[in-house]
Amino acid sequence: MSKTRGRVTPQRRVRFKLKRWMFATGSVSVLALSGAAIPLSSASAQMDPVGQLGKFQDHIVAPSNNPMNGDTNPYGMAIVPLTMGNLVKGNLLVAEFNNASNTSGAGTSIVQVNPTTGVVTQFASAATINDVGLTGPVDIAINPKNDFVWVAAFGAATNGSQSGYVVINSAGSLVVDENNQTVASNPTLMGNMNPFAGVWGAAVGVDYHTKTTSFYWSNIAGTSSMAGPGEIWRTNPSGPNLYQNSTFTPIVVGLPASAQALTGPKGMVYDERTGTLFFTDSQNNAVYAVKNAATAMGPVSPKLVYQGGPLSTPQDIALDPRTGHLYVVNGASGPGTANALVELTQSGQILGVRDLAPNEAPGGLFGVAISPKTFGGLPVIYYDNANDSNVHVLMK
């Protein structure tokens, strides 16, 4: 349990009631940057698919709302790697950002979705783990070694000052809640008292050479650089005291970001084959890469993979382990295609663009994940849509 957050108590909060705060602000220069599931029902027909994305059928897997407390507005998602405790291999975990009243950032739960049966169950909530740290969950990453679920939480404060990450084991019990207060005396921070500042994305990766497991998160209200509040951090968890024995390293700082607009570095995915961490930048409509992310010892300059249309306030990003291709979901209107899924190579070649919600308002898409299994020789791609509060699957 958090040393500072204590037990869950009802509280009244006033928050913006928009489903998305994702609004592209145009291209802004960045300092120091170098250039198989059984579907349940069919979704609406798609328009103008490009590339192999045109071969996929879009089906609704299940509603994403939490059946226990009514939390809604699905954000980040992840595929369960192992069957352990209450988790089942191949199921999806989805973060619910809003509460039952649709108050943005007031959600407090993670649901588990069985993509074969469409059954949705609550995996964990702030009430069940007895910790308010699980407020405003925005992204999920699951340790492939032990099914520990790492949840990036924006927190109850609109400026991101109560951010952190919550680690939950496969039985749905709290392992640790790390925030600026609980890790304040960690010696590796070297005086940086704000490693969690508007936490907005998450990823887990296992280094191919060292076999070390690292957890990554992004900030959109960071204070490490005057150049900008966008940051990427890494921790290498270590015991017996995770607060004191783990290492914390800022690997990218000075990115443009805004906690008010909720834009900046967001989705992240780690390629274990190359040791590269890829992340989206919703403020610059870009995708960047950090090589040797597991061993970088301080702030480095990420490599620009791609910038501009068809990216449009890009949110989450997933990687096909068979091809290395990247899949990005757009979060809003802009120079690209709203509500689109964009496929591109790691060298920045656009392979396909598909509007997943052509008749819906921009800002519905947030999470995307790729199954380790294929169907008909093509990947199985899951995404969530806040406009219809459903989890979808794209498959041949």
Which CATH number is 81's domain given?
Answer: 2.120.10.30
Query: Which pLDDT belongs to residue 260?
Result: 93
Distances (CA, A) of 385 to 151, 273, 329: 19, 30, 10
pLDDT in tens, the chain (396 residues): 444 444 333 333 333 333 333 333 333 333 334 433 333 333 333 344 578 899 999 999 999 999 999 999 999 999 999 999 999 999 999 999 999 999 999 999 999 999 999 999 999 999 999 999 999 999 999 999 999 999 999 999 999 999 999 999 999 999 999 999 999 989 898 878 899 999 999 999 999 888 899 999 999 999 999 999 999 999 998 877 877 888 999 999 999 999 999 999 999 999 999 999 999 999 999 999 999 999 999 899 999 999 999 999 999 999 999 999 999 999 886 556 889 999 999 999 999 999 998 888 888 999 999 999 899 889 999 999 999 999 999 998
Tokens 């649709």, located at residue: 102
Residue 383 belongs to some domain of the structure? yes
- DSSP structure class, residue 305: E
* C-alpha closest to that of 371 among 357, 354, 387, 391: 391
| Domain extent for 377 | 41-395
Distance, CA of 105 to CA of 14 (rounded, Å):
10
- On whether residue 19 sits in a domain, the answer given is no
User: Whole-model pTM?
Assistant: 0.87
Where residue 40 falls (left for φ over 0; alpha for ψ -120 to 50; beta otherwise) is alpha
pLDDT value at position 49?
Answer: 53
Reading the block at residue 274, the tokens are: 């190359």
Q: What is the 3-state secondary structure (H, E, C) of 95-147?
A: EEEECCCCCCCCCCEEEEECCCCCCEEEEEEHHHHCCCCCCCEEEEEECCCCC
Asked if residue 293 belongs to a domain, the reply is: yes
Report yes or no: 164 and 199 within 8 Å, Cβ to Cβ.
Answer: yes
366 close to 75: Cβ distance less than 8 angstroms: yes
Q: Are 251 and 230 in contact (CB under 8 A)?
A: no
> Could you tell me if residue 15 is inside a domain?
no
Residue 73 lies in a domain: yes
Distance of CA 44 to the CA centre of its chain: 26
10 Å Cβ neighbour count for 357? 23
For the chain, how far is it from start to end, CA to CA, in angstroms?
44
Task: For the beta carbon of residue 302, count every other beta carbon within 10 angstroms.
Answer: 27
| Angle, CA 31 vertex, CA 25 and CA 35 arms, to 5° | 90
Domain count, the chain: 1
pLDDT tens, position by position, 198-222: 999 999 999 988 889 999 999 999 9
Contact 339, 314 (CB under 8 A): no
Is 13 within a domain?
no
Please tell me the predicted confidence (pLDDT) of residue 181.
92
- Residue pair 212/236 in contact (Cβ under 8 Å)? The answer is yes
Confidence (pLDDT) at 333:
61
In a domain, 266, yes or no: yes
How far apart are alpha carbons 282 and 338 in whole angstroms?
12
Is residue 16 in a domain? no
Whether residue 376 contacts residue 393, with contact meaning beta carbons closer than 8 Å, is answered with no
